[in-house]
Amino acid sequence: MALSRRSLVAGAAILAASAKARAAADADVVVIGAGAAGLAAASAIRRGGHSVVVLEARDRIGGRAFTETALGAGRSFDAGGQYVHWAERNPWREIARAAGVRTSDDATSPWPVLVKDGVRASEAERRQRRAGFGRVSLLLDHPDASPAAPDRSVAEAVAGEDEAARAAATGLTRLTLGEEPDRVSCADYDQLWSGDDIWVDGYGALVAGHYAGLPVRLGTPATMVDWSGPGVAVETPRGTLRAACAILTVPVGVLAAGSLRFTPALPAATAEAVAGLRMGAYTKIGLALDPARLREQDLRDAVILQSGTPGLTAYLEMQPFGKPLAVLHCGGDGARALCEAGEGAALAAATDHLASVFGTGIRTAVTAGRLAAWWTDPFARGSYSIARPGRLPAREALRVPVADRIFLAGEALAGGGAMTVGGATLDGERAAAAVLRRLGS
Ligand SMILES: Cc1cc2nc3c(=O)[nH]c(=O)nc-3n(C[C@H](O)[C@H](O)[C@H](O)COP(=O)(O)OP(=O)(O)OC[C@H]3O[C@@H](n4cnc5c(N)ncnc54)[C@H](O)[C@@H]3O)c2cc1C
């Protein structure tokens, strides 16, 4: 087809515009968010020979992989990710080994002691609970053989089961996903990574150390992404950064909250996919303990304290890696309420929990505490992404780039690796590979 004068002029204008965009660009690629996905993406872009700048809202890197050190020397704990899930295929197993960090195998951990409403469970109750978990894993591991069967929530899947199975389902979704069973998709749960877990002493510090030296601008939240021109212009309180492409790795909870704006608005399909996911509220509360005030039996067990449904389902990690520390893990609406109540109320609740397991004397051993309130954290808005029942395709849909210049990445897009550091890392690398192809590398 012969070119008309009009198309020649239009073509020249586009060339001029993109040359202008390149000349004005601060980097080839801007990465928004310095969690595992953003850091992995930035590292891959640099290896691919392109310039990259990472914008991070917090004053640190690592995002939801974060080793909390506020309780002092020798009492650090991972406020976010702590297990290398599905170690067989997770890049962080080898990275942890090479870095020489302490790890612990799940198989060597003590069997948890069940305490219900302050009373240690009898052997019969323990057996009943194990039977409930067995029944639930059978139901959830094989939700329905037919691909055409409609997805349903975990609560729906166990609705016809006995009380032990329903309680097990609630404990499972709250303590592995941070969410209530009626909001969790069976199909999504079924596709999540399984396999061996390795517990890392300082997963957050490992992630931050591994990616040290990347060009990250800390304390620089993106407030608006303008993709109306040939590239992207990202507004921050410290000025605007221009690039050919953006890799957007903020949690889906941040996207849903609307604190990061887009001009023009994100396409309907992307917005619809964001709406298909919600954030769970997995929460940890670290309590510093004075070893001199503890009795031998206080330190011995990992303890699950189950206060039923509704209520706070929680478990206590006692002296992780031998540290004088108790870490309370909880999830679902009870955890949301604690985050909303604030640190003082959450520490009091965690201390009550500790006392209901070990007796009131242990209260004097608690010297300080720290709430990891991801649910109320404006740069996380929850612990990790949960697919709403029937909305599993949302994860895949978010991988479709916006106008070939905004590439989303992160745990929410990681398929079976969703909700994990390993999944986020691999997904950051996937997005970077797509950007490198787009840049012609
Ligand atoms: C309590 C808890 C326990 C967990 N346990 C495990 C576990 O045992 N094992 C495991 O593998 N995973 C676990 N996870 C999940 C894991 O931590 C996450 O899946 C993973 O770290 C997510 O990485 P990401 O890069 O996708 O997102 P993030 O780490 O959240 O990175 C996104 C980054 O974007 C930044 N950001 C947000 N808004 C803006 C903005 N406007 N401008 C610029 N930057 C912005 C954030 O500050 C953040 O640094 C846990 C998470 C939590 C919360």
Asked if residue 12 has pLDDT above 70, the reply is no
**In the CATH scheme, what is the code of domain 20-62+211-277+386-438?**
3.50.50.60
Q: Domain coordinates of the chain in residue numbers?
A: 20-62+211-277+386-438, 67-80+102-197+281-383
**Cα 221 to middle of ligand 1, angstroms:** 15
What pLDDT, in 10s, does the model give residues 336-392? Answer: 999 999 999 999 999 998 888 888 999 999 999 999 999 999 999 999 999 999 999
What pLDDT, in 10s, does the model give residues 403-425? Answer: 999 999 999 999 999 999 999 99
What pLDDT, in 10s, does the model give residues 124-155? Answer: 877 887 888 888 888 887 655 556 678 999 99
What pLDDT, in 10s, does the model give residues 147-191? Answer: 667 899 999 999 999 988 898 899 889 999 999 999 999 999 999
Q: Assess whether the region 20-62+211-277+386-438 and the region 67-80+102-197+281-383 belong to the same CATH fold.
A: no
Ligand 1, atom 4, residue with closest C-alpha: 81
pTM score, whole prediction: 0.92
Q: pLDDT band for position 320 (50/70/90)?
A: confident
**Cα 310 to middle of ligand 1, angstroms:** 27
Ligand 1-lining residues (CB < 6 angstroms): 32-38, 55-58, 63-65, 80-83, 85, 221-222, 249-251, 254, 260, 282, 284, 374, 379-380, 383-384, 410-411, 419-422, 424
Mean pLDDT along residues 92-116: 79
Architecture of domain 67-80+102-197+281-383: Alpha-Beta Complex (3.90)
The minimum-distance atom of ligand 1 relative to the CA of 58 is 47
The minimum-distance atom of ligand 1 relative to the CA of 38 is 25
**Per-residue pLDDT at 127:** 83
**Cα 196 to middle of ligand 1, angstroms:** 21
Q: What is the 3-state secondary structure (H, E, C) of the chain?
A: CCCCHHHHHHHHHHHHHHHHHHHHCCEEEEEECCEHHHHHHHHHHHHCCCCEEEECCCCCCECCCCEECCCCCCCCEECCCCEECCHHHCHHHHHHHHHCCCEEEHHHCCCCEEEECCEECCHHHHHHHHHHHHHHHHHHHCCCCCCCCCCCEHHHHCCCCCHHHHHHHHHHHHHHHCCCHHHCEHHHHHHCCCCCCEEECCHHHHHHHHCCCCCEECCCCCCEEECCCCCEEEEECCEEEEEEEEEECCCHHHHHHCCCEEECCCCHHHHHHHHCEEECCCEEEEEEECHHHCCHHHCCCCEEEECCCCCCEEEEEECHHHCCEEEEEECCHHHHHHHHHCHHHHHHHHHHHHHHHHCHHHHHHEEEEEEECHHHCCCCCCCCEEECCCCCHHHHHCCCCECCCEEECCHHHCHHHCCCHHHHHHHHHHHHHHHHHHCCC
**Cα 408 to middle of ligand 1, angstroms:** 14
